[in-house]
Structure 1
Amino acid sequence: MNQGRGKYDFYIGLGLAMSSSIFIGGSFILKKKGLLRLARKGSMRAGQGGHAYLKEWLWWAGLLSMGAGEVANFAAYAFAPATLVTPLGALSVLVSAILSSYFLSERLNLHGKIGCLLSILGSTVMVIHAPKEEEIETLDEMSRKLGDPGFVVFATLVVIVALILILVVGPRHGQSNILVYITICSVIGAFSVSCVKGLGIGIKELLAGHPVLRHPLPWLLLVGLVVCVSTQINYLNRALDIFNTSVVTPIYYVFFTTAVLTCSAILFKEWQRMPATDVIGTLSGFLTIVVGIFLLHAFKDVSLSLASLPVSLRKEEKVANGGSLVGSYEALRDEEASLTCGLEPHAGENVSRRNGNLAAF
């Protein structure tokens, strides 16, 4: 691939991935605003089985925004490596959190602000160090990659693990262990991203005038995508129905992105030509995003701001001072005990005087 063309495609994919996050993050705000307007009008809410939101233009604007975001995300995989596109999906959570604080009056505490900052920094690091060129340009190359022995072994293991989780572990522990359903979504999600990547390449070839529709691979990838996405939606909804959303979201992001990066490294071999510094930078950026998402979700109900920090510090200082006084008292008491054990009987007067000092203290 021409290096200049590869960088051009990279920036197109980057722009599509970022615009996807903006559209998807904004869609939640538009839908929420529409539902709140209906609630103020006294209409039956969606949670109660009402469908009045279908007449609210803000809700439809949110739905269209969500659709535009998903289309942009789909197209991004055709131009940029999955190593870059998938982790940038975290920006939609960031956009949603920031817009909620402005348009929905949902307070963003100090942990949330730090989490947003870390997510931005981690995304920037990943963009800088991500591979700039694609390893696959045509469906024929995609077919050869899918037939690679390393990927066949990986795919077989993933399918076996997924079936064991679905048929054996899920019915027994899915209701009590948050990791069961999330792991199913994540390992299946690795395949869905690969299918999207292949379909994106097929669409590029179709637009270039190649007879893509006669190739069996796009149809197989389409069927695989439908199966994978349906499974993901099913088990993610189960996890969200049983466990707290603020816990499910960050764990799912970490597991899903890790699975996608692993699958991408084995299938597309995007990491082979990357220098060690870029590999370390990409992983560091990903871990930074993980910490940011965790702070944003795990502590969103904690009331902590910059204004409350001096009060907290003063309380800690008082506790520390109190602890030093108690420590001094305990040290003096230990000294008295040692003297009592080591003094002769006629030294009782000195011990009594020391007891008086303790009482005064």
Structure 2
Amino acid sequence: MFNFAAYMFAPASLITPLGALSVLVSALLASKFLNGNLNNIEKMGCLLCVLGSTILVLHLPKEEQTQTLHELFSRIQNPVFIDFMNVELLVCFTIFCYFGTFHGTKHATVYLMLCSIVGSITVIACKGLGLAIKNIAGGDLQDFQNIWVSLVLLLIVIVCICIQMNYLNKALDLFSTSVVTPIYYVLFTTLTIIASAIVFEEWKNMSDINIVGAICGFFVTVIATFLLNMFKDNNKSVVNET
């Protein structure tokens, strides 16, 4: 719910990478309430997570450029975005029909790629639903005439979330959290940033310094996510041995 609220007021390219903070909070809460001990590598991961998130906030755009649902619809008619969506849907269909059955149990990337693609679609649908709600709350009567569009977007969001949860749980049943979390974060964030950049063209208005800074911040958060997840099993093994 809070993610949805955030997507209503800020660009998706800013909100999605900041999801790495959830990994940081989880690590700190586990250390505090579940008697977990953060090793030096995990502490470094926490610091890098804060550093990367700060860099992202400093360099990515903070203001939403699309203000109405109708403007969003005109943007998603961009041929580049349509081609991008066709490729995503083709990959999803291929995973659902073939790769998921034969390779999903061997490679974590298969199910997580499907989750990430559906997640990027969810974000765009959330943006549309958020704009519709915000415009209706602001008294835009034209959105009342298109209330069915909001209902369709809500249905898309619900269906996409159900698909994500289904295949994410499959991946978690087959592979450890230390493998699933960083791979899912990287794939989901990358695809969402690409989709958002195509639809909203946020990167066109950014300076070269901000573009380089945003890319560096993203890579720092990726490294932090891997550090926080890849080495947390070390603490468990130490506890079990003692």
Which of the five TM-score ranges fits, normalised by the shorter chain? over 0.9
Letter in 2 for 1:244: S
**2:212 alignment partner, one of 270, 280, 291:** 280
Equivalent residue for 1:300? Answer: 232
Task: State whether residues 14 and 62 of structure 2, in contact with CA within 8 Å, keep that contact through their aligned partners in structure 1.
Answer: no
* 1:89 aligned residue: 19
Q: Give the aligned partner of residue 207 of structure 1.
A: 137
Q: Superposed, which structure 2 residues align to 1:148-159 within 5 Å? A: 148-159=78-89
Q: Which residue of 2 aligns with 1:327?
A: none
1:241 corresponds to which of 173, 194, 197:
173
Correspondences of 1:15-34 after superposition (within 5 Å): none
Q: Which amino acid aligns with 1:111?
A: I
The TM-score, its normalising length taken from structure 2, stands at 0.93
1:90–1:289 CA contact under 8 A, matched in 2 = yes
1:185-231: CA deviation from partner (whole Å, max 9, x where unpaired): 01111000111111111111111012324214322211211221111
AA in 2 matched with 1:243? F
Classify the secondary structure of the residue corresponding to 2:5. helix
Alignment match, 2:48: 118
Distance in structure 2 (CA, Å) of the matches to 1:189 and 1:301: 28
Q: Does 2:63 match 1:133? A: yes
The counterpart of 1:146, out of the listed 76, 90, 103, is 76
Distance 1:220 1:135 in 2: 23
Report Cα offsets for 1:21-61 as digits up to 9, x if no partner.
xxxxxxxxxxxxxxxxxxxxxxxxxxxxxxxxxxxxxxxxx
Dislocated runs of 4+, deviation >3 Å: none
Quote the sequence identity (%).
47
Letter of the structure 2 residue corresponding to residue 287 of structure 1 = F
Q: Is the 8 A contact 2:115 2:164 kept in 1?
A: yes
Structure 1 residues 185 and 248, CA gap change in structure 2 (3 angstroms): same
Please name the residue that 1:104 is paired with: 34
2:102 aligns with 172
Counterpart-to-counterpart distance in 2, 1:88 and 1:258? 12
1:143 and 1:217 in contact (8 A); partners too:
no
8 Å CA contact 1:122, 1:289 repeated in 2: yes
* AA in 2 matched with 1:296: L
Equivalent residue runs for 1:337-356 within 5 Å: none
In structure 2, stretches of 5+ residues that fail to align are: 236-242
- Deviation per CA, 1:149-174: give whole Å up to 9, x if none: 12111111111111011111111111
Instruction: Look up the equivalent residue of 1:81 and give its one-letter code.
Output: P
Higher relative contact order (CA 8 A, sep 6+): 2
Write the letter of the residue equivalent to 1:214.
Q
Take 2:200 and 2:155, find their aligned partners in 1: how far apart are those partners? Answer: 21
Local SS of the residue matching 1:271 = helix
Q: Which amino acid aligns with 2:26?
A: S
**How far off is 1:89 after superposition?**
1.2
Gaps of 5+ in 1: 1-70, 304-361
Aligned residues: 233
* d(CA) in 2 for partners of 1:187, 1:243: 19
Equivalent residue runs for 1:228-267 within 5 Å = 228-267=160-199
> Is residue 269 from structure 1 mapped to residue 222 from structure 2 by the alignment?
no
Q: Residue in 1 aligned with 2:239?
A: none
TM-score (normalizing by structure 1): 0.63
RMSD over aligned Cα atoms: 1.1
